[in-house]
């Protein structure tokens, strides 16, 4: 979801994404990040293009319309959880008194 969020703002590439995730406290290596990006692309949520940046080829990922839909759906779920986390009296669900 984090990757989709940033890819919705601008085309992202692996290294920038790795640094952004590190900023949030996620230490994620290339062996995890690249399969994740490829998986999102295979699922049709991201689309990559290669172009030259600073003298080297770089693969940039941008979000697809399908990715935007998935991001909105995920956001609704996270909002719901967020509300419940901040409720003073979360609903009791076990039927006890």
Shortest reach from residue 71's CB to Zn ion, in Å? 13
Q: Considering only residues 37 through 56, tell me which ones interact with Zn ion, judged by CB under 5 A.
A: none
Q: Where are the beta strands (DSSP E) in 1-97?
A: 12-13, 46-53, 56-63
Residue 13 structure tokens = 């590439």
Least separation in angstroms between residue 24's CB and Zn ion is 6
Q: Which is nearer to Zn ion, 20 or 41 (CB)?
A: 20
Q: Which is nearer to Zn ion, 25 or 55 (CB)?
A: 25
Binding residues with Zn ion: total (CB under 5 A):
1
Structural Rg of the chain based on CA atoms? 17
Min. distance of Cβ 52 from Zn ion in angstroms? 26
Strand 56-63, strand 12-13: pairing: antiparallel
**What residues numbered 4-33 form the site for Zn ion, per CB under 5 A?**
20
Which residues contact Zn ion by CB under 5 A?
20
């Amino acid at each position: 979801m984090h990757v989709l969020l940033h890819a919705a703002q601008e085309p992202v590439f692996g290294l920038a994404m790795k640094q952004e995730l590190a900023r949030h406290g996620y230490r994620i290596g290339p062996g995890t990040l690249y399969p994740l990006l490829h998986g999102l692309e295979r699922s049709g949520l991201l689309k990559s293009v290669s172009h030259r940046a600073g003298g080297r080829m770089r693969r940039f990922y941008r979000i697809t319309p399908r990715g935007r839909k998935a991001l909105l759906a995920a956001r609704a779920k996270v909002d719901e959880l967020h509300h419940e986390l901040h409720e003073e009296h979360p609903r009791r669900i076990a039927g006890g008194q």
